[in-house]
A and B are shown apart, each in its own frame.
Chain A
């Protein structure tokens, strides 16, 4: 069964450094999302992306965050200058169509900021 893949599984970065988290969505999916989950807390929406544009973003997704689909298969989340509070699991998701179709999630990247 096709799945969303994320790399790396664990990223350790010094505070203030830039980090790029990578995702390969399911191949025929057109809608892409990032969520995060701070340890012990709920899964939170960050951003949705369609047709090379951000569709919606949450308050968490400030100017330090950006997303890109650099080619036909990858979808990336960049954090420009990481903070300690950015430490979390970051999940990429994709859906085939909008509307009531479910989103399918990857297994996440654990980001640890030192």
Chain B
């Protein structure tokens, strides 16, 4: 699975959009981009995933560049409850393929 690079931490003001970047320059054609988050010591929470098209759900939007070498997770109106570690994971969608969790980005949402 391709390696991802994320900033170790970011700040965001409450109510503003949080834009979390991820670089995955060695991504291959059959690898999906997934975003999870981990609030304190809870289990990783699935947010969104995509292959090449932009995706949106009730939690967030995922913007993948045309060359697929980077992506951005957008939380449109961040709240204090969105403070968490956000993981960008690139993964080949084969049977039973595990998720490799890196260090992620610690997002601090401030009042």
Contact = CB atoms under 8 A, between A and B. Distances in A.
Interface string B92-104: 0111111111110
Interface of B: prevailing SS = loop
Interface in A56-114: 56, 58, 89, 91, 93, 98-100, 102-108, 110
A43 B44 contact: yes
Interface string B67-101: 00000000000000000000000000111111111
B15 to A, nearest CB: 25
Nearest to A46: B98
Contacts of B38: 43
Interface residues of B, number: 22
Number of chain A interface residues as a range: 20 to 34
Interface in A23-82: 31, 33, 35, 37, 42-45, 48, 50, 55-56, 58
B43 A91 contact: yes
A108 B44 CA distance: 9
Given A42-B102, A102-B34, A50 B96 contact: yes
A3 to B, nearest CB: 9
A100 B44 contact: no
Given A98-B96, A106-B43, 5 more contacts: A4-B43, A35-B99, A44-B101, A56-B96, A98-B97
12 contacts: A31-B96, A33-B98, A35-B101, A43-B38, A44-B101, A89-B41, A91-B44, A99-B95, A100-B49, A102-B46, A105-B43, A106-B43
- Give 6 closest A-B pairs by Cβ, nearest first: A100-B93, A105-B43, A43-B101, A45-B98, A55-B96, A98-B95
